[in-house]
Amino acid sequence: MGFRISWVASQGIAADELLRTAEKQRTKKRDEIPDLGWYLLELPPWVLLIADGRDDYRDLGRTYAKNLSADGRETLFFRCSDTFMKTDLRCYRDGQEAWSIIYKSDDETKRPELGGEPPEVVHQTLARQQAKQAEDDGADHLYELTAEVGQALTGFRHDTDPETDDPRPFQVLQ
């Protein structure tokens, strides 16, 4: 069980444009936390499209993030499946993958795969997670790497409350 979620975060795009390209529409409902389905979250300068749950998270994929980045805007794609203990965070610029973090808990090396040129926050967060893992024998703290970096960059982490004054920051979509 656990989380099965994906999100795309982009800067320099209006929420309505993000929704139009995703073919999603706002409803009148807002939630405190995302719970199965599609959501919009605005954490300036980031706008996030979130797909939560087994039936939705696979429908929001890397191609969408890649296409959003085509006009020079930085776009992040995050996905995790606690069921399979696999997670990735990818950054796209100008329609190309600029950097990535991929982690599979069943990989015997227990090392995340870093691609491209990740920002310094990735290396700093990796060092912190490796230190935690060394102290806590048996716990897989590296699985948290993508979520930690995503939060450091956007202010959003799928399993914590975002820092916002809005008590119901998640706009339900259809």
What would the two tokens of residue 144 be?
């948290």
- For the beta carbon of residue 56, count every other beta carbon within 10 angstroms: 17
Please tell me the total count of domains within the chain: 1
Q: 75-128: per-residue pLDDT in tens?
A: 999 999 988 899 999 999 999 999 999 999 887 777 999 999 999 999 999 999
Residue 1 pLDDT more than 70?
A: no
Q: How far is CA 63 from CA 59, 67, 90, 163, in A?
A: 10, 6, 11, 28
Instruction: Using alpha carbons, select from 98, 76, 94 the residue that is nearest to residue 146.
Output: 76
- Tell me, what amino acid is at 77? F
Q: 12-41: per-residue pLDDT in tens?
A: 899 999 999 999 999 999 999 998 999 999
- For the beta carbon of residue 168, count every other beta carbon within 10 angstroms: 12
> Is-contact 153 124, C-beta < 8 A?
no
Instruction: Quickly state the pLDDT bin for 6 (edges 50, 70, 90).
Output: very high
Question: Structural domain of residue 121, as residue ranges?
Answer: 4-173
What does the pLDDT read at residue 9?
A: 98
Instruction: Please provide residue 173's backbone torsions phi and psi, each rounded to the nearest 5 degrees.
Output: -115, 160
User: pTM for the full model?
Assistant: 0.94
Q: How far is CA 13 from CA 42, 109, 156, in A?
A: 11, 39, 17
